[in-house]
Protein backbone atom coordinates (compact mmCIF):
# COMPACT_ATOMS: atom_id res chain seq x y z
CA UNK A 1 0.00 0.00 0.00
CA UNK A 2 1.40 3.36 -1.10
CA UNK A 3 1.10 6.28 1.37
CA UNK A 4 0.52 8.67 -1.53
CA UNK A 5 -2.52 6.60 -2.50
CA UNK A 6 -3.82 6.88 1.07
CA UNK A 7 -3.52 10.69 0.78
CA UNK A 8 -5.60 10.50 -2.40
CA UNK A 9 -8.22 8.40 -0.57
CA UNK A 10 -8.44 11.00 2.22
CA UNK A 11 -8.77 13.87 -0.24
CA UNK A 12 -11.61 12.13 -2.10
CA UNK A 13 -13.35 11.31 1.18
CA UNK A 14 -13.18 14.99 2.18
CA UNK A 15 -14.17 16.57 -1.14
CA UNK A 16 -16.33 13.72 -2.54
CA UNK A 17 -15.09 14.40 -6.08
CA UNK A 18 -11.99 13.51 -8.07
CA UNK A 19 -11.68 17.12 -9.25
CA UNK A 20 -11.85 18.51 -5.72
CA UNK A 21 -9.30 15.97 -4.50
CA UNK A 22 -7.02 16.86 -7.39
CA UNK A 23 -7.19 20.57 -6.55
CA UNK A 24 -6.45 19.81 -2.90
CA UNK A 25 -3.34 17.78 -3.78
CA UNK A 26 -2.27 19.73 -6.86
CA UNK A 27 -2.76 16.82 -9.27
CA UNK A 28 -5.05 16.06 -12.20
CA UNK A 29 -8.44 14.38 -12.00
CA UNK A 30 -7.33 11.33 -14.06
CA UNK A 31 -4.40 10.86 -11.69
CA UNK A 32 -6.82 10.82 -8.75
CA UNK A 33 -8.86 8.10 -10.45
CA UNK A 34 -5.81 5.95 -11.20
CA UNK A 35 -4.44 6.26 -7.66
CA UNK A 36 -7.81 5.34 -6.15
CA UNK A 37 -8.04 2.24 -8.37
CA UNK A 38 -4.51 1.26 -7.32
CA UNK A 39 -5.40 1.55 -3.63
CA UNK A 40 -8.63 -0.41 -4.02
CA UNK A 41 -6.72 -3.12 -5.91
CA UNK A 42 -4.04 -3.27 -3.19
CA UNK A 43 -6.68 -3.60 -0.46
CA UNK A 44 -9.02 -5.85 -2.43
CA UNK A 45 -11.95 -3.64 -1.40
CA UNK A 46 -14.26 -1.09 -3.00
CA UNK A 47 -13.87 2.06 -0.91
CA UNK A 48 -16.42 4.38 -2.56
CA UNK A 49 -19.78 4.23 -4.23
CA UNK A 50 -20.04 6.52 -7.26
CA UNK A 51 -23.34 8.43 -6.96
CA UNK A 52 -24.90 11.50 -8.56
CA UNK A 53 -23.98 13.44 -5.40
CA UNK A 54 -20.34 12.36 -5.57
CA UNK A 55 -18.16 9.68 -4.02
CA UNK A 56 -19.72 8.10 -0.91
CA UNK A 57 -17.73 5.85 1.42
CA UNK A 58 -18.69 2.18 1.54
CA UNK A 59 -18.65 0.28 4.85
CA UNK A 60 -15.13 -0.86 3.99
CA UNK A 61 -14.18 2.71 3.12
CA UNK A 62 -15.38 3.98 6.51
CA UNK A 63 -13.25 1.34 8.21
CA UNK A 64 -10.21 2.40 6.19
CA UNK A 65 -10.89 6.09 6.89
CA UNK A 66 -10.16 5.88 10.62
CA UNK A 67 -6.82 4.13 10.01
CA UNK A 68 -5.92 6.50 7.18
CA UNK A 69 -6.54 9.55 9.39
CA UNK A 70 -4.25 8.13 12.07
CA UNK A 71 -1.58 7.45 9.43
CA UNK A 72 -1.97 11.04 8.21
CA UNK A 73 -1.65 12.46 11.71
CA UNK A 74 1.59 10.57 12.32
CA UNK A 75 3.06 11.47 8.92
CA UNK A 76 2.19 15.15 9.33
CA UNK A 77 3.53 15.18 12.87
CA UNK A 78 6.85 13.78 11.64
CA UNK A 79 6.99 16.32 8.81
CA UNK A 80 6.26 19.22 11.17
CA UNK A 81 8.89 18.06 13.66
CA UNK A 82 11.54 17.75 10.95
CA UNK A 83 10.59 21.13 9.48
CA UNK A 84 10.61 22.74 12.89
CA UNK A 85 14.15 21.51 13.46
CA UNK A 86 15.41 23.01 10.19
CA UNK A 87 17.98 25.76 10.61
CA UNK A 88 18.11 27.19 7.10
CA UNK A 89 16.05 30.08 5.75
CA UNK A 90 14.88 28.08 2.78
CA UNK A 91 11.95 25.96 1.69
CA UNK A 92 8.20 26.41 1.26
CA UNK A 93 6.09 28.68 3.46
CA UNK A 94 2.33 28.58 2.88
CA UNK A 95 0.25 31.50 4.22
CA UNK A 96 -3.55 31.65 4.18
CA UNK A 97 -5.77 34.71 4.64
CA UNK A 98 -8.74 36.57 3.15
CA UNK A 99 -8.54 38.32 -0.22
CA UNK A 100 -8.30 41.98 0.88
CA UNK A 101 -6.03 41.27 3.88
CA UNK A 102 -3.76 39.20 1.68
CA UNK A 103 -3.37 42.00 -0.85
CA UNK A 104 -3.11 45.02 1.44
CA UNK A 105 -1.28 43.57 4.47
CA UNK A 106 0.32 40.18 3.81
CA UNK A 107 1.45 40.47 0.17
CA UNK A 108 3.89 43.38 0.72
CA UNK A 109 5.45 41.64 3.73
CA UNK A 110 5.69 38.27 1.96
CA UNK A 111 7.25 39.95 -1.09
CA UNK A 112 9.82 41.69 1.11
CA UNK A 113 10.70 38.41 2.82
CA UNK A 114 11.13 36.70 -0.57
CA UNK A 115 13.54 39.45 -1.65
CA UNK A 116 15.51 39.23 1.60
CA UNK A 117 15.73 35.43 1.50
CA UNK A 118 15.63 34.17 -2.11
CA UNK A 119 15.72 30.51 -1.05
CA UNK A 120 12.32 30.81 0.61
CA UNK A 121 9.30 30.07 -1.60
CA UNK A 122 6.13 31.75 -0.32
CA UNK A 123 2.66 30.60 -1.31
CA UNK A 124 -0.02 33.14 -0.35
CA UNK A 125 -3.54 31.68 -0.49
CA UNK A 126 -6.42 34.19 -0.43
CA UNK A 127 -9.56 32.21 0.21
CA UNK A 128 -12.65 32.26 2.42
CA UNK A 129 -11.97 28.62 3.29
CA UNK A 130 -10.50 27.93 6.74
CA UNK A 131 -7.32 25.95 6.06
CA UNK A 132 -6.23 23.30 8.58
CA UNK A 133 -2.95 23.89 10.39
CA UNK A 134 -2.95 20.33 11.76
CA UNK A 135 -3.16 18.84 8.25
CA UNK A 136 -0.43 21.23 7.04
CA UNK A 137 -2.77 22.87 4.53
CA UNK A 138 -1.10 26.11 5.66
CA UNK A 139 1.88 27.02 7.85
CA UNK A 140 0.50 30.39 8.96
CA UNK A 141 -3.14 31.53 8.93
CA UNK A 142 -4.52 35.03 9.45
CA UNK A 143 -8.27 35.19 10.02
CA UNK A 144 -10.98 37.15 11.85
CA UNK A 145 -11.97 34.41 14.34
CA UNK A 146 -9.76 32.80 17.02
CA UNK A 147 -8.50 29.28 16.49
CA UNK A 148 -10.06 26.33 18.31
CA UNK A 149 -7.79 23.65 16.83
CA UNK A 150 -5.55 21.83 19.33
CA UNK A 151 -1.81 22.57 19.37
CA UNK A 152 -2.21 25.94 17.61
CA UNK A 153 -0.07 28.86 18.77
CA UNK A 154 -2.09 32.02 18.24
CA UNK A 155 -2.29 35.69 19.09
CA UNK A 156 -4.43 38.66 18.22
CA UNK A 157 -2.45 40.54 15.57
CA UNK A 158 -4.38 43.78 15.11
CA UNK A 159 -7.77 45.45 15.17
CA UNK A 160 -9.05 46.50 11.74
CA UNK A 161 -11.43 49.51 11.68
CA UNK A 162 -14.28 49.56 9.15
CA UNK A 163 -16.07 52.57 7.63
CA UNK A 164 -18.99 53.38 5.36
CA UNK A 165 -17.88 54.25 1.81
CA UNK A 166 -19.40 55.80 -1.28
CA UNK A 167 -18.08 56.50 -4.76
CA UNK A 168 -16.06 59.71 -5.11
CA UNK A 169 -18.60 60.88 -7.66
CA UNK A 170 -21.31 60.93 -4.96
CA UNK A 171 -21.63 64.45 -3.57
CA UNK A 172 -24.13 63.71 -0.79
CA UNK A 173 -25.98 60.69 0.57
CA UNK A 174 -29.77 61.21 0.43
CA UNK A 175 -31.83 60.94 3.60
CA UNK A 176 -34.26 58.42 2.16
CA UNK A 177 -33.72 54.87 0.90
CA UNK A 178 -30.27 54.28 -0.60
CA UNK A 179 -28.82 51.37 -2.61
CA UNK A 180 -26.47 49.14 -0.63
CA UNK A 181 -23.52 46.90 -1.45
CA UNK A 182 -23.11 44.15 1.12
CA UNK A 183 -22.11 40.56 1.84
CA UNK A 184 -23.80 37.60 0.13
CA UNK A 185 -26.52 35.74 2.01
CA UNK A 186 -24.06 33.18 3.38
CA UNK A 187 -22.32 35.97 5.31
CA UNK A 188 -25.34 38.19 5.95
CA UNK A 189 -24.99 37.92 9.75
CA UNK A 190 -21.47 39.34 9.85
CA UNK A 191 -21.33 42.39 12.18
CA UNK A 192 -20.81 44.96 9.40
CA UNK A 193 -23.69 43.56 7.31
CA UNK A 194 -26.03 43.67 10.33
CA UNK A 195 -24.86 47.22 11.11
CA UNK A 196 -25.56 48.37 7.55
CA UNK A 197 -29.13 47.06 7.73
CA UNK A 198 -29.66 48.77 11.07
CA UNK A 199 -28.27 52.15 9.96
CA UNK A 200 -30.14 52.07 6.63
CA UNK A 201 -33.28 50.01 7.37
CA UNK A 202 -35.00 51.37 4.25
CA UNK A 203 -31.98 50.69 2.06
CA UNK A 204 -32.31 48.46 -0.98
CA UNK A 205 -29.64 45.79 -1.47
CA UNK A 206 -28.37 46.42 -4.99
CA UNK A 207 -25.31 44.20 -4.99
CA UNK A 208 -23.99 41.26 -2.94
CA UNK A 209 -20.60 39.55 -2.93
CA UNK A 210 -18.50 37.46 -0.55
CA UNK A 211 -15.41 39.36 -1.79
CA UNK A 212 -14.50 42.69 -0.21
CA UNK A 213 -12.60 43.63 -3.38
CA UNK A 214 -15.68 43.05 -5.51
CA UNK A 215 -17.75 45.14 -3.10
CA UNK A 216 -15.19 47.96 -3.35
CA UNK A 217 -15.31 47.89 -7.16
CA UNK A 218 -19.12 47.96 -7.16
CA UNK A 219 -19.18 50.80 -4.64
CA UNK A 220 -16.64 52.85 -6.63
CA UNK A 221 -18.77 52.34 -9.75
CA UNK A 222 -21.67 54.04 -7.99
CA UNK A 223 -23.80 50.96 -7.33
CA UNK A 224 -24.35 51.87 -3.67
CA UNK A 225 -22.90 52.39 -0.20
CA UNK A 226 -20.63 49.72 1.26
CA UNK A 227 -19.01 48.94 4.60
CA UNK A 228 -15.36 48.07 3.98
CA UNK A 229 -12.17 47.52 5.97
CA UNK A 230 -10.36 50.87 6.12
CA UNK A 231 -7.05 49.52 4.73
CA UNK A 232 -8.99 48.49 1.62
CA UNK A 233 -11.44 51.38 1.33
CA UNK A 234 -8.89 54.14 2.02
CA UNK A 235 -6.51 52.70 -0.59
CA UNK A 236 -9.10 52.64 -3.40
CA UNK A 237 -8.87 55.83 -5.50
CA UNK A 238 -12.56 55.72 -6.41
CA UNK A 239 -13.89 55.61 -2.85
CA UNK A 240 -14.49 58.13 -0.09
CA UNK A 241 -15.70 57.74 3.47
CA UNK A 242 -19.24 58.95 4.03
CA UNK A 243 -18.83 62.03 6.26
CA UNK A 244 -20.79 62.12 9.51
CA UNK A 245 -21.56 58.42 9.39
CA UNK A 246 -21.24 56.47 12.68
CA UNK A 247 -18.45 53.93 12.78
CA UNK A 248 -19.42 50.34 12.00
CA UNK A 249 -17.92 47.56 14.14
CA UNK A 250 -14.33 46.62 13.32
CA UNK A 251 -12.81 43.15 13.40
CA UNK A 252 -9.83 41.57 15.12
CA UNK A 253 -7.30 39.64 13.04
CA UNK A 254 -5.75 36.52 14.56
CA UNK A 255 -2.53 34.76 13.57
CA UNK A 256 -1.99 31.07 14.16
CA UNK A 257 0.47 28.29 13.38
CA UNK A 258 1.01 24.72 14.61
CA UNK A 259 3.03 24.34 17.79
CA UNK A 260 5.45 21.93 16.05
CA UNK A 261 6.56 24.81 13.75
CA UNK A 262 7.28 27.34 16.51
CA UNK A 263 11.04 27.16 15.87
CA UNK A 264 10.85 27.06 12.07
CA UNK A 265 13.29 29.84 11.06
CA UNK A 266 11.51 30.92 7.88
CA UNK A 267 8.18 31.18 9.72
CA UNK A 268 9.72 33.20 12.56
CA UNK A 269 11.42 35.46 10.01
CA UNK A 270 8.03 36.22 8.42
CA UNK A 271 6.44 36.91 11.81
CA UNK A 272 9.22 39.29 12.85
CA UNK A 273 8.95 41.18 9.57
CA UNK A 274 5.17 41.34 9.82
CA UNK A 275 5.30 42.83 13.32
CA UNK A 276 7.98 45.30 12.27
CA UNK A 277 6.00 46.53 9.27
CA UNK A 278 2.73 46.84 11.14
CA UNK A 279 4.41 48.89 13.86
CA UNK A 280 3.19 49.31 17.42
CA UNK A 281 0.38 51.67 16.36
CA UNK A 282 -1.41 48.94 14.37
CA UNK A 283 -0.58 45.88 16.44
CA UNK A 284 -3.17 44.92 19.01
CA UNK A 285 -1.39 44.92 22.36
CA UNK A 286 -4.59 45.32 24.41
CA UNK A 287 -4.67 41.58 25.04
CA UNK A 288 -1.71 39.30 25.82
CA UNK A 289 -0.91 36.42 23.48
CA UNK A 290 -3.02 33.33 24.14
CA UNK A 291 0.16 31.23 23.94
CA UNK A 292 3.46 32.32 25.44
CA UNK A 293 5.26 30.44 22.66
CA UNK A 294 4.24 33.16 20.23
CA UNK A 295 6.39 35.65 22.10
CA UNK A 296 9.13 33.23 23.16
CA UNK A 297 9.69 31.39 19.86
Q: Pick the closest to residue 14 from 67, 56, 44, 49 (CA basis).
A: 56
297 pLDDT exceeds 80?
no
Question: What does the pLDDT read at residue 8?
Answer: 92
Q: Are 16 and 31 found together in one domain?
A: yes
Question: Could you give the CA distance from residue 233 to residue 163 in angstroms, rounded to a whole number?
Answer: 8
Q: Are 150 and 167 found together in one domain?
A: no
Question: What does the pLDDT read at residue 148?
Answer: 87
290 pLDDT exceeds 50?
no
Question: What does the pLDDT read at residue 178?
Answer: 94
285 pLDDT exceeds 80?
no
Q: Are 236 and 183 found together in one domain?
A: yes
Question: Could you give the CA distance from residue 94 to residue 190 in angstroms, rounded to a whole number?
Answer: 27
Question: What does the pLDDT read at residue 286?
Answer: 39
Q: Pick the closest to residue 256 from 150, 147, 102, 122 (CA basis).
A: 147
Q: Are 143 and 281 found together in one domain?
A: yes
Q: Quote the domain boundaries for residue 177.
A: 162-249
Higher pLDDT: 82 or 174? It is: 174
CB-based contacts of 7, cutoff 8 Å, min separation 6: 25, 72
294 pLDDT exceeds 70?
no
Tens digits of residue pLDDT in 60-107 = 999 899 888 888 888 877 776 665 555 557 889 999 999 999 999 999
CATH, residue 257:
3.40.190.10
Question: What does the pLDDT read at residue 83?
Answer: 58
Would you place residue 3 in the very low, low, confident or very high pLDDT band (cuts 50, 70, 90)?
confident
Q: Are 285 and 262 found together in one domain?
A: yes
Query: Average of pLDDT values for 15-20?
Result: 92
Question: What does the pLDDT read at residue 76?
Answer: 77
Question: Where is the domain boundary, 26, 58, 84?
Answer: 84
pTM: 0.65
Question: What does the pLDDT read at residue 168?
Answer: 94
Question: What does the pLDDT read at residue 279?
Answer: 58
Q: Are 10 and 58 found together in one domain?
A: yes
CATH, residue 21:
1.10.10.10
Q: Are 153 and 194 found together in one domain?
A: no
Q: Are 219 and 261 found together in one domain?
A: no
Number of domains in the chain: 3
Q: Are 153 and 257 found together in one domain?
A: yes
Question: Where is the domain boundary, 62, 84, 106?
Answer: 84
Q: Are 144 and 201 found together in one domain?
A: no
Higher pLDDT: 85 or 174? It is: 174
Angle separating helix axes 3-15 and 59-84, nearest 10 degrees: 110
The percent of residues in the chain predicted with pLDDT above 70, rounded, is: 90
Q: Are 231 and 176 found together in one domain?
A: yes
167 pLDDT exceeds 90?
yes
Tens digits of residue pLDDT in 204-236 = 999 999 999 999 999 999 999 999 999 999 999
Tens digits of residue pLDDT in 270-282 = 999 998 888 544 5
Q: Are 245 and 256 found together in one domain?
A: no
Angle separating helix axes 265-282 and 107-116, nearest 10 degrees: 130
Question: What does the pLDDT read at residue 82?
Answer: 61
Question: What does the pLDDT read at residue 281?
Answer: 41
- Measured CA to CA in angstroms, residue 3 lies from 61, 112, 246 at distances of 16, 36, 56
Amino acid sequence: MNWDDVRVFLAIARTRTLGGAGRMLGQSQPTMGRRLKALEAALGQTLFQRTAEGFVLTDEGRSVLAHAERMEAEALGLARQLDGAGLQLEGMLRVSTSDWFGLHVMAPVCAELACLHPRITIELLTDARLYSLARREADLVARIVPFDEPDVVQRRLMHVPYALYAARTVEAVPDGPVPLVTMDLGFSEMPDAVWLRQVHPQGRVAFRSNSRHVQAVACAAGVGLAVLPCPLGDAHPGLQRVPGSPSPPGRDVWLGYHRDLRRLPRLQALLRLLFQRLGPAQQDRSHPPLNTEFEAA
